[in-house]
């Protein structure tokens, strides 16, 4: 990984995701910090990224690296954690039954993905599908059925739906621009995840049946970085 | 450019950008003026528009409170100056004050403004040397606004009719 990517591109992308992910437009602009559950999901996502080989933390923070590079790498990890939390916060509905359902949905999906341990490419595809589906559900489907400015027939249906679901399904309407901001935020986040450094090599460990990536030694890491830079 | 230079520049940029994001989450600015005002006040470079402030004070002394607040808001668009916020709170107090009863909505807005002023002031202390004011400190103003919003037996004391606006 080049120094520009590690010190400039990744932090800039991830901090932009942190900024936009918590932005809410409801007449006024508000920046909302992630709820506790989003932090839990972010930890699970980081664990899944590491397990699948989409992220090699030793290529960001390792004793063999120069101190300045370790600080850069540490900031990338911190920004990745915060951005992950804000992305989950962004695509989760704000209230009611959909919010609860999405929390369970994300938790089960992440645990399942972590347990199945897909490779890097499959994990990136999987994340695109997870966040893409959540985006469509929240910003297109739920937004459409919660839109108070729609026609009379739709408003009547909305009242009926509210009655049947005891008001647990419909959401507070939000500014139309928020959907576009959310789309951009998700695109930036997925781009940043794709740019994270993968492990330099993976060895099969005899006592773990090849499930875990082996940790390279300091010498292997330095040599690997040098070879990759030369390529 | 050497790798070390890129890393140092990246680190500085990341810290600055991260601080900006943290500041936005902490202060929740609503307008671009509040963003720029907040950032300039962080480096001690924020100044109120003195001309608009003087206009506001003139309106305030003529009991034209709506006009006064418009001028004060023009003077302090970033909502960073404690004295201007104090005067805004005072304008709500004077406009909402009545011999028989006070206007709860205006008092509530005044309370918000005086709380803002206290938060912005160094050590939370504001003393305004203005002979036109009956209450010169934020504490007195806040206590008066809170008392106006409370419902208590003394509200029915006929002697209230003799009290004066401060």
CATH number for the domain that contains residue B83: 1.25.40
- Cross-chain CB nearest to A18 (options B11, B13, B21): B21
**CB-CB under 8 Å, B17 with A15:** yes
**CB-CB under 8 Å, A12 with B17:** yes
Min Cα distance A218 → chain B (Å) is 20
Contacts of A89 in chain B (CB under 8 A): none
Residues of chain A where predicted confidence (pLDDT) is lower than 50: 203-212
Nearest CA in chain B to A15: B18
Assigned domain for B18 exists: no
Assigned domain for B96 exists: yes
Assigned domain for A227 exists: no
Tell me, what's the pLDDT at A207? Answer: 47
Assigned domain for A11 exists: yes
Kindly report the three-state secondary structure assignment for every residue of chain A: CCHHHHHHHHHHHHHHHHHHHCEEEECEEEECCCCHHHHHHHHHHHHHHHHHCCCCHHHCCCCCCCHHHHHHHHHHHHHHHHHHHHHHHHHCCCCHHHHHHHHHHHHHHHHHHHHHCCCHHHHHHHHHHHHHHHHHHHHHHHHHHCCCCCCHHHHHHHHHHHHHCCCCCCCCCCCCHHHHHHHHHHHHHHHHHHHCCCCCCCCCCHHHCCCCCCCCCHHHHHHHHHHHHHC
**CB-CB under 8 Å, B7 with A11:** no
Residues 23-52 of A with CB under 8 A from B: 28-31, 33
Assigned domain for A231 exists: no
Min Cα distance A71 → chain B (Å) is 8
- Cross-chain CB nearest to A28 (options B17, B18, B30): B30
CA B134 centroid distance within chain: 18
Report the domain count for chain B: 1
- Cross-chain CB nearest to A19 (options B9, B10, B21): B21
**A148 at the B interface (CB within 8 A)?**
no
- Cross-chain CB nearest to A30 (options B18, B21, B28): B28
- Total residues belonging to chain B: 166
Assigned domain for A214 exists: no
Min Cα distance A32 → chain B (Å) is 7
Assigned domain for A140 exists: yes
Assigned domain for B153 exists: yes
Assigned domain for A95 exists: yes
**CB-CB under 8 Å, B6 with A4:** yes
The residues on B that touch A, with CB distances below 8 Å, are 3-4, 6-11, 13-15, 17-18, 21, 24-25, 28-30
Whole-structure pTM over 0.90, yes or no? no
**CB-CB under 8 Å, B30 with A7:** no
Alpha carbon distance, N-terminus to C-terminus of chain B: 66
Residue range of the domain that includes B146 = 47-162
Assigned domain for B136 exists: yes
Residues of chain B where predicted confidence (pLDDT) is lower than 50: none
Tell me, what's the pLDDT at A210? Answer: 44
Tell me, what's the pLDDT at B127? Answer: 92
Min Cα distance B8 → chain A (Å) is 8
**CB-CB under 8 Å, A68 with B17:** no
Report the domain count for chain A: 1
Assigned domain for B36 exists: no
**CB-CB under 8 Å, B4 with A71:** no
Tell me, what's the pLDDT at B148? Answer: 87
Tell me, what's the pLDDT at A217? Answer: 65
Residue range of the domain that includes A87 = 3-197
Assigned domain for B101 exists: yes
Residues 97-116 of A with CB under 8 A from B: none
């Amino acid at each position: 990984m080049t120094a520009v990517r590690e010190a400039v591109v990744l932090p800039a992308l991830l901090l932009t995701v942190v900024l936009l992910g918590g932005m809410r437009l409801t007449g006024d602009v508000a920046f909302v910090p992630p709820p506790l559950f989003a932090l839990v999901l972010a930890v699970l996502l980081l664990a899944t990224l590491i397990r699948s080989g989409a992220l090699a933390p030793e290529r960001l923070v390792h004793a063999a690296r120069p101190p300045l590079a370790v600080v850069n790498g540490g900031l990338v990890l911190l920004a990745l954690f915060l951005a992950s939390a804000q992305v989950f916060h962004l695509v989760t509905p704000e209230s009611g039954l959909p919010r609860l359902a999405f929390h369970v949905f994300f938790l089960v999906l992440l645990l399942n993905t972590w347990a199945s341990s897909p490779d890097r490419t499959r994990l990136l595809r999987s994340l695109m599908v997870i966040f893409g589906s959540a985006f469509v559900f929240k910003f297109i489907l739920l937004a459409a059925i919660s839109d108070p400015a729609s026609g009379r027939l739709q408003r009547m249906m909305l009242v009926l739906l509210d009655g049947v679901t005891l008001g647990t399904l419909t959401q507070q309407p939000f500014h139309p621009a928020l959907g576009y901001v959310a789309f951009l935020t998700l695109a930036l986040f997925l781009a940043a995840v794709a740019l994270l450094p993968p492990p330099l090599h993976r060895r099969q460990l005899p006592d773990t049946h090849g499930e875990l990536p082996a940790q390279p030694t300091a010498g292997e890491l330095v040599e690997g970085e040098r070879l990759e830079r030369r390529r | 450019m050497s790798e070390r230079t890129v890393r140092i520049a990246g680190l500085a940029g990341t810290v600055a950008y991260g601080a900006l994001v943290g500041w936005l989450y902490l202060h929740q600015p609503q307008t671009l003026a509040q963003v720029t005002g907040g950032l300039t006040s962080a480096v001690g470079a924020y100044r109120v528009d003195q001309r608009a402030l003087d206009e506001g004070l003139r309106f305030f002394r003529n009991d034209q409170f709506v006009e006064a607040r418009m001028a004060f808001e023009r003077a302090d668009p970033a909502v960073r100056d404690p004295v201007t916020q104090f005067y805004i709170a005072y304008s709500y107090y004077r406009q909402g004050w009545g011999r028989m009863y006070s206007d709860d909505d205006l008092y509530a807005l005044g309370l918000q403004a005086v709380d803002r002023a206290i938060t912005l002031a160094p050590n939370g202390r504001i003393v305004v040397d203005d002979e036109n004011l009956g209450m010169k400190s934020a504490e007195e103003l806040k206590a008066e606004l809170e008392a106006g919003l409370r419902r208590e037996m003394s509200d029915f004391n006929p002697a209230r009719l003799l009290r004066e606006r401060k």
